[in-house]
């Protein structure tokens, strides 16, 4: 049986992580979120992203192996923390809708930019061949990042949709979208 190079294992894991989460989000999460009032849907997404403080493990010796490039680890850790704080602030201000919406936009912009920049850093630093140096944190880009990126995309889709029932709940009058239940 041929041995698969670590870089190829990483690529397979990453591709299948996006595929599996994509199927899950498309089949279960997005239909459920579309049924919620607009702010409630964003609240659910913010709750997931509030746990991004976990990204600080990229800075934790013993959790990651020596040799993990700090040019990757530090921005990934701090970007995740910034996103988590913004998501938590959004959750705390849910009752103050103008502030809530600003924070929803902020955590989605910061969070998506963080994931895109982390991916770019990983490519520029040729991280896939040494992905094992992430230690236990290897699970983050394989299992967690695809879900996070897909929920940022879902948040944008949900923010861009016409208001319909959600707008009526929020006191705005907008036309009902064609795809509404």
Residue pLDDT, tens place only, 83-118: 999 999 999 999 999 999 999 999 999 999 999 999
Q: What is the pLDDT of residue 163?
A: 65
Is 175 part of a structural domain of the chain? no
pLDDT band at 50 (very low <50, low <70, confident <90, very high): very high
Is 107 part of a structural domain of the chain? yes
Is 170 part of a structural domain of the chain? no
Q: What is the pLDDT of residue 145?
A: 95
Is 96 part of a structural domain of the chain? yes
Is 141 part of a structural domain of the chain? yes
Is 21 part of a structural domain of the chain? yes
Q: What is the tally of structural domains in the chain?
A: 1
Collect all residues with Cβ–Cβ distance below 8 Å to 164 and sequence separation of at least 6: 174, 175, 176, 177, 180
Examine the pLDDT at 5 and tell me if it is beyond 90. no
Residue numbers of the domain that contains 131: 6-162
Is 31 part of a structural domain of the chain? yes
Is 151 part of a structural domain of the chain? yes
Q: What is the pLDDT of residue 114?
A: 97
């Amino acid at each position: 049986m041929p041995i698969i190079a670590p870089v190829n294992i990483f690529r397979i894991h990453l591709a299948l992580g996006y595929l599996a989460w994509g199927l899950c989000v498309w089949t279960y999460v997005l239909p459920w979120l579309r049924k919620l009032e607009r702010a409630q849907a964003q609240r659910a997404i913010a709750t997931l992203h509030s746990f991004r403080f976990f990204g600080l493990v990229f800075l934790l010796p013993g959790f990651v192996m020596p040799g993990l490039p700090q040019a990757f680890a530090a921005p990934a850790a701090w970007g995740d923390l910034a996103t988590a704080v913004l998501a938590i602030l959004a959750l705390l201000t849910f009752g103050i809708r103008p502030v809530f919406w600003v924070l929803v936009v902020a955590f989605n912009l910061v969070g998506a930019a963080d994931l895109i920049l982390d991916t770019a850093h990983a490519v520029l630093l040729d991280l896939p061949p040494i992905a094992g140096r992430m230690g236990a944190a290897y699970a983050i880009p394989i299992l967690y990042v695809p879900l996070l990126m897909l929920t940022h995309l879902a948040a944008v889709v949900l923010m861009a949709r016409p208001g319909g029932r959600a707008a009526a709940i929020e006191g705005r009058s907008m036309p009902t979208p064609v795809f509404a239940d």
